[in-house]
């Protein structure tokens, strides 16, 4: 569950990330303050140069100043490097840490979270939102400290030379504070909208890239271009709102500062108002006031960066505050025997009123083949999701070897299942690494090769130029559907889990590939419990038990022969696929 944190709490939480870099911050602050004080010091040198020695040029002073110009600016450069580099290093460290936390959180959040959050928006948080935080941790702090030090330095010299004139400039402070407070709220709101717009843009681009073939086949280029243009324009509009707020705030503060400067100039024109005002003092104060306009502008501009960073923190913290997948089990499990049992299990998907499963009860004995048959949406795949605890049932109990699933350690439990789904997930890596995924360091190349041979994957792997070391692209785009399925089966073979879940495992295969895979699966199913979700009844005729499901409820249960003789739902489905006893090709 996401929520919005108050501004002060967001900053306090963000500051926690900076605690590890106290020494670096000290170095950065010394650098930035030193840089700004040198600038203020250079302005202070104007008064003795102009006033000189009784109104005459002080040549000795000029000669001394000449000696110090180069060392002063060398020191200024060193201070600038100290401040800028150190803060950039800190901001990069903060961004790296936040990205790692988000990535870790994504991997440990429950499946339900990912079901309800578009992947494009989650990617945008890792890439875009963290960069906004970098702006707050780097650029914002750099400007805040450096320009703030310059403001204090210039004000100090103004007070030192003429506290009366400096006091006039100080009076604009409350007005500036009011403007900054009002604009900050606007910056935060618009920044939040920009982040949402960027998430939508990323989602839109991601969908088109993944669904490129569908777009081409159905001629959806114009439609998708129109949708993207609308989202892109919305993003542009939000950015322009931020620019407008920024321009208006900067302009307002500079106008207020200029009014103070005009008042100072007017007062200085009265000869009797300030009697001890020398030309050098006057020029120093006026130049200092003029120099104040730039840091005031920078401080207002940095407010937008800071607010964008804080809005990004809210977005990131909203993900980090979600509860990770619960692992309530404390019982270790090395290798299960494979007995599975559902006792009166009822399950609702989040935000769905209709139950996906209702009062489901059945038992699967170790080493047996258990098949699930039914229409799409009847609840077959839900059973495998509950077995692997991607979801937890609201009612009833699911047991493995007589022990409720919740009692086992989650990692140990999932190691008991090898899942081969109709939707194969492969990684942009070599074939060998995809087969050995999750088993790296525990298996030998010979074992990987043997698993590929069992899954009949060697037939196409050996034809590739680099064999097992061939890079297959994102999600195996270099391979056919049947080839990807064989790699998934090879991965399951290598895992050697006591329970095998086949969720439409042969749906993507042609007749020849299906024959080869069925042979591999028969070998794989020996001595292990098998849960087979199938539409093709030819793949489950040898099942020890078949469960016919409709709308989350059990209609029929038995083996192939008994269900046919019963002449119920299974028999009707069999007739549709095998009319008159002949298999429909």
- Taken in order of first residue, the domains within the chain and their CATH numbers are 7-320 (1.20.1560.10)
Phi–psi pair at 424, nearest 5 degrees? -80, 135
Does residue 103 have a pLDDT over 80?
Answer: yes
Q: Is the dihedral of CA 395, 399, 402, 406 positive or negative?
A: negative
Counted residue by residue, the chain has a size of 585
CA 411 – CA 314 distance, rounded (Å): 31
CA 160 – CA 158 distance, rounded (Å): 5
Tokens for 70, please give them. Answer: 């180069």
Nearby residues of 160 by Cβ (< 8 Å), 6 or more positions away = 44
In the block, tokens 């929520």 appear at: 3
Return the closest-CA partner of residue 451 out of 463, 439, 464, 466. Answer: 439
CA 383 – CA 420 distance, rounded (Å): 14
CA 269 – CA 282 distance, rounded (Å): 11
Report how far apart, in Å, the C-alpha atoms of 88 and of each of 24, 28, 139, 258, 274 are.
11, 10, 8, 33, 46
Return the closest-CA partner of residue 545 out of 363, 336, 384, 380. Answer: 363
Tokens for 228, please give them. Answer: 């993207």
Q: pLDDT > 90: what percent of the chain?
A: 6
- What are the DSSP calls for 198-247, one per residue? HHHHHHHHHHHHHTHHHHHHTT-HHHHHHHHHHHHHHHHHHHHHHHHHHH
Angle between the N-to-C axes of helices 59-108 and 279-320, in degrees from 0 to 180, rounded to the nearest 10: 10
Render pLDDT for 190-229 as a digit per residue (tens, 0 to 9).
Answer: 777 877 777 777 777 767 766 666 666 667 778 778 888 8
What's the angle, vertex CA 93, arms to CA 92 and CA 96, rounded to 5? 85
- At 276 the pLDDT is 62
In the block, tokens 């050995």 appear at: 436
CA 239 – CA 139 distance, rounded (Å): 19
CA 460 – CA 481 distance, rounded (Å): 13
Q: C-alpha 31: how far from its chain's center?
A: 34
CA 190 – CA 585 distance, rounded (Å): 59
Label residue 48 by pLDDT band (50, 70, 90).
low
Tell me the three state secondary structure of residue 568. coil
Exposed (0-12), middle (13-18) or buried (19+): which is 146, by Cβ within 10 Å?
Answer: buried
CA 87 – CA 364 distance, rounded (Å): 61
- At 272 the pLDDT is 61
CA 498 – CA 364 distance, rounded (Å): 13
In the block, tokens 């310059």 appear at: 150
Least confident of 128-132, 225-229, 311-315, 577-581: 577-581
Label residue 149 by pLDDT band (50, 70, 90).
confident
pTM for the whole structure: 0.72
Average pLDDT of 386-400? 91
Count H helices, E strands: the chain? 22, 10
CA 155 – CA 167 distance, rounded (Å): 9
Label residue 269 by pLDDT band (50, 70, 90).
low
Tokens for 30, please give them. Answer: 């010394």
> Residue 346 pairs with which residues in a beta bridge?
395
Least confident of 109-118, 167-176, 433-442, 544-553: 167-176
Tell me the three state secondary structure of residue 362. strand
Q: In this predicted model, which residue has the larger pLDDT, 457 or 7? A: 457
- At 400 the pLDDT is 93
- What are the DSSP calls for 521-550, one per residue? HHHHHTTSEEEEE-S-GGGSTT-SEEEEEE
What does the mean pLDDT of the chain come to? 79
């Amino acid at each position: 569950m996401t929520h919005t944190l108050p501004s002060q709490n967001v900053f306090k939480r963000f500051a926690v990330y900076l605690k590890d870099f106290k020494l670096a911050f000290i170095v950065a602050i010394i650098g930035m303050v030193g840089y700004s004080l040198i600038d203020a010091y250079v302005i202070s040198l104007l008064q003795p140069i102009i006033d000189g020695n009784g109104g005459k040029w002080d040549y000795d002073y000029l000669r001394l100043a000449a000696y110090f110009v180069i060392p002063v600016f060398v020191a200024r450069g060193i201070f600038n490097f100290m401040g800028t580099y150190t803060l950039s290093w800190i901001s990069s460290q903060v961004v790296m840490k936040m990205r790692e936390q988000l990535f870790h959180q994504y991997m440990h959040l429950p499946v339900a979270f990912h079901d309800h959050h578009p992947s494009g928006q989650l990617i945008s948080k890792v890439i875009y939102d963290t960069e906004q935080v970098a702006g707050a941790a780097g650029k914002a702090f750099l400007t805040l400290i450096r320009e703030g030090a310059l403001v204090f330095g210039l004000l100090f010299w103004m007070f030192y030379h003429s506290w009366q004139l400096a006091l006039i400039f100080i009076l604009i402070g409350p007005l500036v504070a009011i403007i900054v407070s009002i604009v900050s709220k606007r910056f935060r709101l618009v920044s939040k909208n920009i982040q949402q717009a960027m998430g939508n843009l990323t989602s839109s681009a991601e969908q088109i890239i993944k669904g490129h073939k569908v777009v081409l086949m159905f001629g959806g280029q114009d439609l998708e271009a129109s949708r993207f243009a609308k989202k892109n324009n919305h993003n542009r509009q939000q950015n322009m709102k931020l620019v407008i707020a920024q321009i208006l705030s900067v302009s307002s503060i500079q106008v207020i500062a200029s009014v103070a400067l005009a008042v100072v100039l007017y007062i200085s024109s009265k000869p009797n108002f300030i009697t001890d005002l020398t030309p050098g003092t006057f020029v120093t104060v006026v130049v200092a006031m003029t120099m104040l306009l730039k840091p005031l502008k920078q401080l207002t501009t940095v407010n937008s960066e800071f607010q964008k960073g804080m809005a990004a923190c809210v977005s990131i913290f909203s993900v980090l505050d979600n509860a990770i997948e619960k692992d309530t089990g404390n019982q270790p499990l090395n290798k299960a025997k494979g007995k599975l049992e559902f006792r009166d299990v009822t399950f609702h998907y989040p935000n769905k009123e209709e139950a996906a499963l209702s009062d489901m009860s059945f038992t699967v004995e170790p080493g047996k083949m258990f098949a699930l048959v039914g229409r799409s949406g009847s609840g077959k795949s839900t059973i495998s999701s509950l077995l692997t605890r991607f979801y937890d049932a609201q009612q009833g109990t699911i047991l493995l070897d007589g022990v409720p699933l919740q009692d086992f350690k989650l990692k140990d439990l999932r190691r008991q299942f090898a899942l081969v789904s109709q939707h194969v997930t492969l990684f942009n890596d070599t074939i060998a690494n995809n087969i050995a995924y999750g088993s790296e360091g525990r298996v030998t190349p010979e074992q990987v090769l043997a698993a590929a041979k069992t899954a009949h994957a060697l037939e196409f792997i050996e034809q590739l130029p680099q064999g097992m070391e061939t890079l297959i692209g994102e999600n195996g785009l270099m391979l056919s559907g049947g080839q990807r399925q064989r790699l998934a089966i090879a991965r399951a073979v290598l895992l050697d889990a006591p329970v095998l879940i086949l969720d439409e495992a042969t749906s993507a295969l042609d007749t020849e590939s299906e024959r080869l895979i069925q042979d591999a699966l028969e070998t794989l199913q020996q001595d292990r419990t098998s849960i087979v979700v199938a539409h093709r009844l030819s793949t489950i005729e040898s099942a020890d038990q078949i469960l016919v499901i409709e709308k989350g409820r059990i209609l029929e249960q038995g083996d192939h022969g008994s269900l046919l003789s019963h002449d119920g739902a299974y028999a009707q489905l069999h007739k549709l696929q095998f009319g008159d006893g002949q298999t429909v090709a």
